């Protein structure tokens, strides 16, 4: 018998909070039934990240994505200039109509029967249309838009639930941190072309926890920190900062950066030649925002979760990462690098080097994290231990190496999974 048998309210059965103790049952990481329930109650009813507007700057530009496990594509309408997000399915017989990951197209043609749709979703071509005798419902057979699509500061989200609250209300306190990150750039932000894509044999919520976990940094990434020290980086400040519950399941870990940041924090590793340009960026921040806000922009790292599965890592590079579960013990991860437009080549080079060296799947940190998370997943199957403990820091003001940010996620997860008005479709 497990904790799931014969009871009601999945969330409350699996997440138990007491005054000084917070526990999560390991069935939440292993059960196919729980994953099916998550798809129905979480991924179908919350705002999910699709992409960034800079990826489709021109009319007809498009990118293909899997959002909440569903194939969709985002395209800039050629007539309206609007960002459209369509279900990637021909309205005739169902085949996908966007078959490339990115590009520019005047039309999207289903390869099966060659029905054609334009970038606004309008059905524009049907071979041998005379067979329908003039009864073809051209308007009714247009591509289907995802129920809700909204954008904030260039970040495009969609939701399959038409009744969801507006995106700004949903983002809650995370909105202020997106503002902080975007405002720090001297120009509009863009997604740098190219992605890191990889998978791991671990439950998707383990990566949620890991992405905002300051407690594991020193022990798990020991090799990388020694590498930085060998290159001259001063890490004596450690991980000093705090965590914030941003509402609606979002959370952020904010702490002093012990390393250089391309936004405006120079360190010897950048080289003396770069000092003047980085100091110039910092002076620009002070002029525009004052010393206090410029300090936050330049000197503090941020690891932010936007519930349920968007991570914005503003550290030695600015990384946007999302992931989708394909099984209780497997997920697919996609990460992009974000940077100011027309950034100086040497600054851009340092940013991309950090994106690959620390954050990439072949870098110093991500392989460590994958090893740790897959190790957890393997350990779960050993049995004998039912609960994970996420109580660290409950009896004091949150610190960067505590677990308040994870508790924020799990409380929202519990509330979503307790809801009985959402249909489960295994």
pLDDT digits (tens, 9 = 90+) for 365-381: 899 999 999 999 999 99
Say how far apart CA 3 and CA 7 lie, in whole Å: 8
Q: What pLDDT digit, counting tens, does each position of 60-82 carry?
A: 999 999 999 999 999 999 999 99
Per DSSP, which regions of 196-274 are E strands?
196-200, 241-247, 250-256
User: 157 and 74 in contact (C-beta within 8 Å)?
Assistant: no
User: 409 and 251 in contact (C-beta within 8 Å)?
Assistant: yes
For residue 145, give the DSSP letter. B
Listed in order, the ranges of the chain carrying CATH 3.90.380.10 are 173-417
For residue 349, give the DSSP letter. H
72-86, 87-101, 203-217, 222-236: segment of lowest average pLDDT: 222-236
Question: Which residues partner with 22 through β-bridges?
Answer: 17
Task: Give the pair of three-digit tokens for residue 395.
Answer: 């009896």
Say how far apart CA 66 and CA 49 lie, in whole Å: 10
Q: What pLDDT digit, counting tens, does each position of 226-235 carry?
A: 888 887 777 7
Tell me, which fold does domain 48-163 have in CATH?
Rieske Iron-sulfur Protein (2.102.10)
Question: Which residues partner with 247 through β-bridges?
Answer: 250
Query: Does CATH place domain 173-417 in 3.40.50.10800?
Result: no
Residue 12 φ then ψ, to 5°: -70, -25
- Residue 261 binned pLDDT confidence (cut-offs 50, 70, 90): confident
Say how far apart CA 70 and CA 168 lie, in whole Å: 24
Listed in order, the ranges of the chain carrying CATH 2.102.10.10 are 48-163
- At residue 5, the pLDDT reads 55
Pairing of the two strands 83-87 and 310-314 = unpaired
Is residue 353 within a helix (H) or strand (E), and if so which, with residue range?
Answer: helix 345-357
Contacts of 426 (CB under 8 A, 6+ apart): 32, 33, 36
- At residue 1, the pLDDT reads 44
- At residue 425, the pLDDT reads 47
Mean pLDDT of the chain: 92
Nearest CA-CA partner of 415 in 305, 303, 312, 308: 308
243-247, 300-304, 353-357: segment of lowest average pLDDT: 353-357
Contacts of 122 (CB under 8 A, 6+ apart): 138, 142, 143
**Cis-peptide into 421, omega within 30 deg:** no
- At residue 141, the pLDDT reads 98
- At residue 423, the pLDDT reads 66
Say how far apart CA 56 and CA 72 lie, in whole Å: 14
Q: pTM here?
A: 0.94
Q: Whats the size of the chain, residue-wise?
A: 426
């Amino acid at each position: 018998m497990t904790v799931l048998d014969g009871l009601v309210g999945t969330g409350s059965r699996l997440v138990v909070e007491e005054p000084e103790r917070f526990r999560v049952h390991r069935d939440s990481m292993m059960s196919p039934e729980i994953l099916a329930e998550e798809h129905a109650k979480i991924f179908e009813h919350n705002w999910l990240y699709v992409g960034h507007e800079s990826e489709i700057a021109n009319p007809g530009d498009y990118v293909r994505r899997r959002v909440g496990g569903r194939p969709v594509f985002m395209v800039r309408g050629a007539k309206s200039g609007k960002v459209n997000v369509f279900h990637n399915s021909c309205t005739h017989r169902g085949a996908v109509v966007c078959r490339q990951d990115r590009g520019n197209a005047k039309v999207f043609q289903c390869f099966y029967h060659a029905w054609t749709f334009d970038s606004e979703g309008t059905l524009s071509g049907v071979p041998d249309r005379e067979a329908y005798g003039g009864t073809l419902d051209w308007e009714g057979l247009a591509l289907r838009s995802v129920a809700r699509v909204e954008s904030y500061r260039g970040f495009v989200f969609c939701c399959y639930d038409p009744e969801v609250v507006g995106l700004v209300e949903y983002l809650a306190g995370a909105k202020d941190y997106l503002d902080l990150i975007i405002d720090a750039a001297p120009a509009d932000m863009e997604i740098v072309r190219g992605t890191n894509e990889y998978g791991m044999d671990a439950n998707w919520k383990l990566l949620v926890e890991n992405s905002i976990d300051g407690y594991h940094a020193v022990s798990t990434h020991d090799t990388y920190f020694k590498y930085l020290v060998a290159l001259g980086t001063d890490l004596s400040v450690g991980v000093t900062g705090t965590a914030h519950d941003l509402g609606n399941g979002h959370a952020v870990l904010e702490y002093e950066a012990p390393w250089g940041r391309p936004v405006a924090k120079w360190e010897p590793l950048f080289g003396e030649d770069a000092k003047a340009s980085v100091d110039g960026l910092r002076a620009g921040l002070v002029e525009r925002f004052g010393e206090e806000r410029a300090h936050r922009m330049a000197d503090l790292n941020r690891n932010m979760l936007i519930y349920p599965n968007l991570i914005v890592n503003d550290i030695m590079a600015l990384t946007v990462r999302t992931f989708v579960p394909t099984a209780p013990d497997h997920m697919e991860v996609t990460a992009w690098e974000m940077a100011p437009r027309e950034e100086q080549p040497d600054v851009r080079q340092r940013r991309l080097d950090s994106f690959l060296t620390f954050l990439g799947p072949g870098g110093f940190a991500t392989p460590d994290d994958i090893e740790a998370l897959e190790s957890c997943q393997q350990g779960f199957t050993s049995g004998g231990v039912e609960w994970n403990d996420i109580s660290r820091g409950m009896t004091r003001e949150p610190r960067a190496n505590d677990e308040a940010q994870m508790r924020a996620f799990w409380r929202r997860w519990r509330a979503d999974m307790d809801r009985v008005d959402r249909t489960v479709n295994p």
